Structure 1
Amino acid sequence: MSASRFGGGGAKHRLMSEIQELSKEKWVNIDLVHDNILRWRLGLIVVNPDSAFNGGYFRAEMTFTDEYPYQPPSFRFLVPIYHPNVYPDGKLCISILHTPGEDLTSGEQASERWSPLQGVESVLRSVLLLLDDPEINSPANVDAGVMYRDDRAMYNKKAQDIVERSKNDIPDGFVMPTTLDPPPPPKSADDDPAFWAESDDEEFDFGGSDTGEDADLAEFDEDGEEEGISDDDDN
């Protein structure tokens, strides 16, 4: 099945299914930007007593194209996180978000990179794992990588400072989980026959905003103000 055959309607259909499943999870809080299914605003929650970032509520955004799931989404934190694999602009250095296929330059195998069998949940779980277990051999933030390796106590203190600041972003009325059930076994699109049984004639309309218009709004929040990173935050 080609990406062009799958089309924008197929991407929206797939994402509607995924957001419905993720809405049952306690470790992520999801809203759509301007009701656009191709733009997700997230609260990613760390519930792991062994994590330096335990208790954090980290605002992030994921964006998708009409070629999803054949092309990966993008992911970025909307607030600075001092972590070896997080760039200053909030983007991540993580294999699962890299385009499909083997990259001999990076040394990544095709199995480590994005594939259509991945999904939003697998990306978010990979991000949480990365927060807990950084890859310091190819850091996006060299200083954080060195501190993680040489001064773990100071690194953990900086992480907890970030966690405390992140709590200011918890929405009113949202109850933070303190424990989580073990995650279910990974489920791929192959397990859902309906995913691959799209009709050529079927059209989907989920009431999202026009994607072309949203592209111009990609750096703005719901109030029309530009998302930015304060100069006062950690680098």
Structure 2
Amino acid sequence: MKTPARKRLMRDFRRLLQDPPAGISGSPQGNIFLWNAVIFGPDDTPWDGGMFKLTLKFTEDYPNKPPTVRFVTRMFHPNIFADGNICLDILKKQWSPVYDVSSLLTSIQSLLCDPDPYYYRLPSRSGNSNAKSPVDSEAARLFRENKREYNSRVKETVEQSWTAD
């Protein structure tokens, strides 16, 4: 039986095959709820030439709830955690059912070149939801204070993406 989530994911897959965004690919891996994707670094940016692998895990609540998206490739970016999880508003509170896999991957590709180098909001131990903690403090600091060194580290990440499993 095809559930609404399965139908929507099949539609998203067909759209990705028929009209793929530049530098993006993705497909289910034997299970419509588990996808592998690749984002190529945008041209003329420090990410140019990189091939970055991701996993997307969907639930039966899709498209009403976002998938869990994680980079498999090691990343150096202010908004990407060491475990590959991504701090992006549309993956959290700003999610909308109008987003599909194509638009989601395009947003993540765009985030590579347009990070928010300041903070990811986390509730503090005291319950204060305005507490701030950096996602990747070193990447954020370099992005703000030393773009040359930041870009050098990004280029290292790009080179490592070629050989990563």
Question: What is the Cα deviation at residue 79 of structure 1?
Answer: 2.0
Gaps of 5+ in 2: 120-133
Q: 1:30 aligns with which of 26, 32, 36?
A: 26
Equivalent residue, structure 2, for 1:163: 158
Classify 1:66/1:8 alpha carbon distance in 2 versus 1 (closer, same or farther; 3 Å).
Answer: farther
Structure with more strand by fraction: 2
Tell me the distance in 2 between the aligned counterparts of 1:125 and 1:78: 17
Contact preservation (8 Å) 1:58, 1:77 = yes
Question: What is the Cα deviation at residue 48 of structure 1?
Answer: 2.2
Contact preservation (8 Å) 1:45, 1:55 = yes
Tell me the distance in 2 between the aligned counterparts of 1:155 and 1:56: 15
Contact preservation (8 Å) 2:78, 2:117 = yes
Question: What is the Cα deviation at residue 32 of structure 1?
Answer: 2.4
TM-score scaled to structure 1, two decimals?
Answer: 0.60
Q: Report the AA paired with residue 162 of structure 2.
A: K
Provide the identity percentage.
31
TM-score scaled to structure 2, two decimals?
Answer: 0.84
Equivalent residue, structure 2, for 1:14: 8
1:34-113 equivalences in 2 (<5 Å): 35-49=30-44, 51-99=45-93, 113=94
1:188-199 equivalences in 2 (<5 Å): none
The higher relative CO (CA closer than 8 Å, separation ≥ 6) is in: 1
1:116 aligns with 2:73: no
SS of the aligned residue for 1:41 comes to strand
Question: What is the Cα deviation at residue 8 of structure 1?
Answer: 6.5
SS of the aligned residue for 1:23 comes to helix
Classify 1:76/1:8 alpha carbon distance in 2 versus 1 (closer, same or farther; 3 Å).
Answer: farther
1:117-146, CA deviations, whole angstroms, 9 ceiling, x for partnerless residues? 111122111111111011012141111100
Contact preservation (8 Å) 2:78, 2:136 = yes
1:176-226, CA deviations, whole angstroms, 9 ceiling, x for partnerless residues? xxxxxxxxxxxxxxxxxxxxxxxxxxxxxxxxxxxxxxxxxxxxxxxxxxx
Q: Report the AA paired with residue 84 of structure 1.
A: P
